[in-house]
Chain A
Amino acid sequence: MTTLPMIETDIHPAVDNPELPDFVAEHELPSREGDRVVQFREALREAMSEEMRRDKRVFLLGEEVAEYNGAYKVSQGMLDEFGPERIIDTPISENGFAGMSISAAMMGLRPIVEFMSWSFSFVAADPILNNAPKMLYMSGGQFGCPIVFRGNDGAGGQLASTHSWCVEALYANVPGLKMAIPSNPYDAKGLLKTAILDPDPVFFLESERMLGDKAHVPEEEYYIPFGRARVAREGDAITLVSFGRPVNFCLEAAEKLAEEGIDVEVLDMRTIRPLDIDSIIASVKKTNQILVVDQSWPFASIASEVVTQICERCFDWLDAPPQRLNTEDVPTPYAKGLEYNYLPNPDRIYDAVKSMVNA
């Protein structure tokens, strides 16, 4: 197992380390067949534990993260290893503990704040939007905010409207923050490790529906740089751009389309801020068609943003109007069938691609 250098606590208060250590890029490893298979939740746990072993400034707090072992078992066993000073159960008090963690980060600690669901982050909207992303700017560069907010985003399983929020479009609107949204366990680990090292506030969006997903994850430590999309599937018929859970819907639809001779290219953005628009443009120049699949509502969504940037930057390469496929523009329903139809599911993706390539 590769050993990375220990981080000395006396070398970087909040803003004195504007660059990530060099080993971030060097240690990006491809996921290989033959590596052990772990769940998404275990990958997240490994990312946090590895960084906590390296750097005592890193700690985890949130509801039920310690004695309950995590509401979704992401932090299982971490209390035993790191103790109650660093794995901290909070009251159900998001405004309080999010605001508190931001100032701890201003002083130079590295908090990981778990929201059981991003749906619960709205009661902490003021600290996470008004303080974390603006602190560096508002203080004229004096105080940074190296913090990670993470938790479940998007429809769970029939949780209905209040518990199924996709916050990506709402929050990515704010300059000063970064946003990562992994689609698989390998990316989850590599992106979260990078998020913890990054000196800026990172909003890290997971999905309750993916926590049990399994994939090959190497034992060696690795980091995935922000702002680099992954080509999840190569093809030349059309470019599908997605991020988070719907990447998997795209791949499922792609299988079915391939049987009909339609080879779609699927790009997994991995991070929304930064957004690897260069990779999207490269793909569009190959396929000349683009469909953005986004699990948030269509109005002013990430899909809208991607389509806008494509129109601005490679309009002449398009053979057809760029399209987006979002969740339907209604509150999230409870009933199973309605919820399925509401999501950008594989059937809707299949239909959308068919109508585009047949047009």
Chain B
Amino acid sequence: MTQATVQSEQSMTTAKADSQTAGLAPTAKNARDLPKEVLLKWLRDMQLIREFENRTMQAYQQAKIGGFCHIYTGQEAVAVGTIGCVNSDDPVITAYRDHGHALARGMTPEACMAEMFGKITGCAKGKGGSMHMFDRPNWLFGGHGIVSAQTPMGAGFAFATKYEHEVLGKTLEGGEAKKKVTLCYMGDGALDQGAFHEAQNIASLWGLPVIYILENNSYSMGTAIDRHTANHENLIDRAKGYGMIGVKIDGLDIMNIYNEFKPIVDQCREESRPAFIDLKTYRYQGHSMSDPQKYRTKDEVDQYKDRDSIAKLVSDLMEMGYLSEDDWKSTQKALRDEVRAAIDAAESAPVPEDDELFTDVYANPEKNLSPTATYSHGTKNPLM
């Protein structure tokens, strides 16, 4: 067993305590046939993100969090549903609206919140902040702040896993080589960057197993999709132009996401090829915490809230007899407590020591690298 899996299983004992412990995605023809605990875990993770983000907004308003902060509420089914379709050692990379992916991937709420509080117990020791969530044990490679910068990188993880398989004959950690799939998330604003087109071309040309998951919330910051990208109703045609699998999926129903997305994951893994998924979703909050949202109406937001993905899953699970009103209330309360504990822990954690400023700049911090700074090795984050 590799070091990475040992670590990831340890962290999952605190964060992901059940069906995915073995690290393999659960398999069924239809999500409704999945084990009850898998479905309840989805609900729990989605509500964790909802609760976490609501508290993040409060903390931001109390100036406990600085910088740019992008809230994921409304889109929870996407991160939880798609990550629920891959194995725990499949690489994941996303853009700056990344708290949901970090939590869905298994990062502890404490490490995620402490990062935003700029504390040493944050996932990146307070050096990355809201937009840069990294979690090596859980195979989360960021959190990237530049729109679409993550899309060529997504191809690169797929390249590396293919290289492990085909050239090294084992994983870089020395384990048995296996076929992996990389998930690369992007917002609809990233559609318009050249980097994404270069990434698709290379991914398809070289048969790289990467899935580009477009979290299509219809806005590139404040510019509506019909004003920022051409032929926006037919985005999957672009993928087909590159010879990639292209599928449009309703992203507000997690069971639907699983049903349509899981076969694509299996196909990309097996056939070593890329895909592009246009996942229609919606964000309830503004682009960032400083967005007055003049570009959309309250009615529009309310219409989507009527189709809330968590409410939908709750009602499905109740109908299936997997969840009672009382269960749901106690789950919500437990998650409120969990997030409150994360806030408390983040609040009471120490800030980085002053000399942390000069660590982790170089892995090999030789002499004379800087006229003013003396670099040294950083300490390992105990939470990661």
A interface with B by C-beta (< 8 Å): 9-11, 13-15, 17-20, 56-57, 59, 85-86, 90-91, 93, 95-104, 106-109, 126-127, 130-131, 136-144, 146, 175-176, 178, 198-200, 226-227, 273-278, 305, 308-309, 312
Contacts and interface: CB of A to CB of B under 8 A. Distances in A.
20 contacts: A10-B172, A57-B172, A95-B194, A96-B152, A96-B198, A97-B152, A99-B152, A106-B156, A107-B156, A136-B360, A136-B361, A138-B127, A138-B132, A140-B123, A142-B134, A143-B134, A144-B363, A175-B373, A178-B362, A278-B368
Contact of B371 (A104, A137, A278, A309): A309
Contacts of B384: 140, 142
Contacts of A305: 371
A85 B163 contact: yes
Interface string B342-366: 0000000000000000011111101
B359 A104 contact: no
A330 B362 CA distance: 35
Interface stretch (B37-45, B72-80, B199-207, B290-298): B199-207
Interface in B296-327: none
A143 B199 contact: no
Contacts of A141: 125, 359-360, 377-381
A309 B372 CA distance: 10
Q: Which of A59, A90, A106 has the most CB of B within 10 A?
A: A106
Contacts of A18: 363-364, 377
A12 B125 CA distance: 23
Interface residues of B, number: 62
B202 to A, nearest CB: 5
Given A137-B127, A138-B124, A142-B124, A103 B362 contact: no
Contacts of A98: 152
Contacts, number: 201
B261 interface: no
A144 B153 CA distance: 14
A277 B368 contact: yes
A100 B159 contact: yes
Nearest to A146: B363
Interface in B254-282: none
B9 to A, nearest CB: 18
Given A9-B172, A176-B362, A100 B153 contact: yes
B124 A139 contact: yes
Contact of A127 (B152, B364, B371): B152
Interface string B238-254: 00000000000000000
Nearest to B120: A140
